[in-house]
A = this chain, B = another copy of it.
Amino acid sequence: MVEPQQEADQLGLERIVFFSDAVIAIAITLLALEIRLPEVHSGGEIPGALLSLWPRYLGFAVSFLVVGSYWFAHHRVFRAVRRYNDTLIWLNILFLLCIAFVPFASAVLGEHGNERSAVFFYALVMMVTGLIQTLLWVYASRRHRLIDPSFSGRAIRFGTVRALTPPIVFLLSLPLILVHPYAAMAAWALIYPTQAAIRHAEKFG
């Protein structure tokens, strides 16, 4: 089946983006499925039960924002992409495999957020996810293999740096787990200001 204009097909590209969006949207929404009210025996116990779930709420919010930022990064990558090939599709499927795995890692974090091993496992999953996304960008952008030729070398390099930010932050947070699990989780919040600083440097630096 040698399709005409295979490489540059806009419609085929849209379908890849669409499928990715659907997978990410499902994974991000399933994060909340892990939050369940424990059984209560009287109405008076409900406020306490709702409050006692705060580590779950926190785990949900953290994971939602991290996956949300991965979606945003995926959005940026594919706005640059103009062509695709089998390798890009398989790298993307690998990335989605990681994303689909996040609700499990997030459930482990929500249940055992005060345990070092759970935080380590979660950071590891997120780090691998971010590394595959970086790989996807490097593969697509290297020598403008699949991206718009109007991108400057500088823009490509900044894209790589931005894609590397989450996995590097997750990597650097690993030793903090030895101090305290929550110290590592607090460090993850650095992803946002770091990315904002990189954007600022890119625009005005």
Binding site for B on A (CB under 8 A): 1-4, 9, 11-12, 15-19, 21-33, 35-37, 40, 43, 46-47, 50, 60-61, 64-65, 68, 71-72, 75-76, 79-80, 86, 89, 93, 96-97, 100-101, 103-104, 107-108, 111-112, 114-118, 121, 148, 150-152, 155-156, 158-159, 162, 199, 202-203
Contact = CB atoms under 8 A, between A and B. Distances in A.
Given A26-B29, A28-B23, A79 B148 contact: no
A23 B155 CA distance: 31
A117 B43 contact: yes
Contacts of A26: 22, 25-26, 29-30
A35 B97 contact: no
A89 B155 CA distance: 21
A78 B103 CA distance: 29
22 contacts: A1-B80, A2-B202, A12-B75, A15-B17, A19-B25, A19-B71, A22-B22, A23-B25, A23-B29, A26-B26, A26-B30, A29-B30, A31-B100, A40-B112, A43-B112, A43-B118, A46-B108, A46-B121, A50-B121, A64-B96, A65-B97, A72-B89
Nearest to A1: B159
A15 B21 contact: yes
Contact of A27 (B4, B29, B37, B68): B29
Contacts of A116: 43
A1 B162 contact: yes
A100 B64 contact: yes
A112 B38 CA distance: 12
Q: Give 7 nearest A-B pairs by CB, closest first.
A: A22-B25, A1-B159, A43-B115, A26-B29, A68-B93, A46-B117, A1-B155
Nearest to A68: B93
Given A2-B155, A103-B32, A116-B43, A111 B22 contact: no
